[in-house]
Amino acid sequence: MAEMYIRVAEEENEEPMEIPSEDDGTVLLSTVAAQFPGACGLRYRSPVSQCMRGVRLVDGILHAPENGWGNLVYVVNYPKGTKMDEIDASSATKIKRGDQKTSDLIVLGLPWKTSEQDLKDYFSTFGEVIMVQVKRDLKTGNSKGFGFVRFTEWESQGKVMSQRHMIDGRWCDCKLPNSKQGPDEPMRSRKVFVGRCTEDMTADELRQFFMQYGEVTDVFIPKPFRAFAFVTFADDQVAASLCGEDLIIKGISVHISNAEPKHNNTRQMMERAGRFGNGSLCHLPPMSICSHRTAR
């Protein structure tokens, strides 16, 4: 079956994004949530009645209307009273005023050499640190590329979450762990973007390569070929540990980045996409491509 995309936008009057469907023509809610975090469904305006209609959702799967998806623009549904930017855990202002207790923050993109003491020394400049931890492989003791930090004061936590951090020569991000960001977040964070792919890389080859890091649940290569792929892991921590890496596959250096979108400027994201592949990337549908990070 030929690859099919449906057009999805946050609002009716906004430029839509193309989102891939499954082989049977359905669309996974997790696929929508990967581009629009917090999405709980889709709706569209009926060409006949001009009224908004909801798309049928069953067990996390969105089913096409009776006449198929067509060329309609589908609008994202969010839980009542919630907007996309309110779900962004990178800002402490999203935490309710009545619940200002600090939480463990996950630190993503850590260099392999960073130790607990390094983390404590760095984050102590923002306030009193209760706990720091670098997650390590149980067998080798090597860092997995991420860790955790917790502060005494909620204000310190807010400062840390509102900016990126240069730790041991590399940009890192701090956010609330997946378990505290809603039901769709774990699905979103298990997927990584693989840039600079070549046409001779098959889905099976990519699956075999990435299985050395952890269980792979899905590999998606767009058709027609667009010099990138998506790999989904069973463990979101595996995905987090690979984000920002440059890996060699079949003698080619590919760049791994988070599949999570950035919502601020769609056009900027499309322009930045060209850094990770050849000219064909200028036709990419709007989606997130993380900024190139300095290799560890």
In order of 47, 77, 173, 183, 285, the CA distances from 30 in angstroms are: 27, 13, 23, 10, 18
Residue 99 above 70 pLDDT?
Answer: no
User: Is residue 219 included in any domain, yes or no?
Assistant: yes
Give pTM, 2 decimals: 0.33
Mean pLDDT confidence for 16-36: 86
pLDDT at residue 291, as a whole number: 39
Q: In CATH, what number is assigned to the domain containing residue 233?
A: 3.30.70.330
User: Is residue 153 included in any domain, yes or no?
Assistant: yes
Residue pLDDT, tens place only, 227-266 = 999 998 887 778 877 888 888 999 888 899 887 554 444 4
pLDDT at residue 3, as a whole number: 63
Is residue 81 very low, low, confident or very high in pLDDT (cuts 50, 70, 90)?
Answer: low
pLDDT at residue 204, as a whole number: 93
User: Is residue 34 included in any domain, yes or no?
Assistant: yes
pLDDT at residue 167, as a whole number: 92
Question: Both 149 and 199 in a single domain?
Answer: no
Is beta strand 5-9 parallel, antiparallel or unpaired with respect to 73-77? parallel
- Cβ neighbors of 162 (< 8 A, separation 6 or more) are 90, 91, 92
Mean pLDDT confidence for 198-215: 90
Question: Both 10 and 71 in a single domain?
Answer: yes
Question: Both 10 and 70 in a single domain?
Answer: yes
Question: Both 195 and 244 in a single domain?
Answer: yes
Mean of all residue pLDDT scores within the chain:
77
pLDDT at residue 83, as a whole number: 52
User: Is residue 70 included in any domain, yes or no?
Assistant: yes
Instruction: Identify which of 101, 109, 108, 107 has the alpha carbon closest to the alpha carbon of residue 148.
Output: 107
> What CA–CA distance (Å, rounded) separates 195 from 281?
10
Mean pLDDT confidence for 60-88: 77
pLDDT at residue 272, as a whole number: 41
Mean pLDDT confidence for 209-238: 87
Instruction: Identify which of 186, 177, 190 has the alpha carbon closest to the alpha carbon of residue 105.
Output: 177
Question: Both 124 and 150 in a single domain?
Answer: yes
Let me know: does 207 contact 195? Beta carbons within 8 Å.
no
Question: Both 206 and 240 in a single domain?
Answer: yes
User: Is residue 225 included in any domain, yes or no?
Assistant: yes
> What CA–CA distance (Å, rounded) separates 157 from 51?
44
User: Is residue 65 included in any domain, yes or no?
Assistant: yes
Q: What residue numbers bound the domain in which 72 lies?
A: 5-77
Sign of CA dihedral 53, 59, 62, 63: negative
Lowest pLDDT segment from 45-49, 140-144, 180-184:
180-184
Which residue would you say has higher pLDDT here, 293 or 127? 127
Mean pLDDT confidence for 83-104: 50
When divided into structural domains, the chain yields a total of 3
Q: Locate tokens 């990070």: which residue?
A: 293
Is residue 180 very low, low, confident or very high in pLDDT (cuts 50, 70, 90)?
Answer: very low
Residue 40 above 80 pLDDT?
Answer: yes
* Token code pair at residue 259: 């599949």
Determine whether 45 is exposed, middle or buried from the number of CB atoms within 10 Å of its CB (0-12, 13-18, 19+).
middle
> What CA–CA distance (Å, rounded) separates 39 from 239?
21
Instruction: Identify which of 226, 232, 286 has the alpha carbon closest to the alpha carbon of residue 256.
Output: 232
Mean pLDDT confidence for 174-189: 53
User: Is residue 209 included in any domain, yes or no?
Assistant: yes
Question: Both 169 and 196 in a single domain?
Answer: no
With a pLDDT cut of 90, the percent of the chain lying above it is: 23
Is residue 116 very low, low, confident or very high in pLDDT (cuts 50, 70, 90)?
Answer: very high
Q: What is the 3-state secondary structure (H, E, C) of the chain?
A: CCCCEEEEECCCCCCCEEEECCCCCCEEHHHHHHHCCCCCEEEEECCCCCCEEECEEECCEEECCCCCCCCCEEEEECCCCCCHHHHCCCCHHHCCCCCCCCCCEEEECCCCCCCHHHHHHHHCCCCCEEEEEEEECCCCCCEEEEEEEEECCHHHHHHHHCCCEEECCEEEEEECCHHHCCCCHHHHHCEEEEECCCCCCCHHHHHHHHCCCCCEEEEECCCCCCCEEEEEECCHHHHHHHCCCEEEECCEEEEEEECCCCCCCHHHHHHHHHHHCCHHHHHCCCCCCCCCCCCC
pLDDT at residue 33, as a whole number: 83
Lowest pLDDT segment from 1-15, 65-79, 157-171, 276-290:
276-290
pLDDT at residue 15, as a whole number: 84
pLDDT at residue 21, as a whole number: 87
Question: Both 32 and 59 in a single domain?
Answer: yes
Residue pLDDT, tens place only, 48-58 = 888 888 999 88
Question: Both 248 and 201 in a single domain?
Answer: yes
User: Is residue 85 included in any domain, yes or no?
Assistant: no
pLDDT at residue 209, as a whole number: 92
> What CA–CA distance (Å, rounded) separates 279 from 162?
34
pLDDT at residue 128, as a whole number: 92
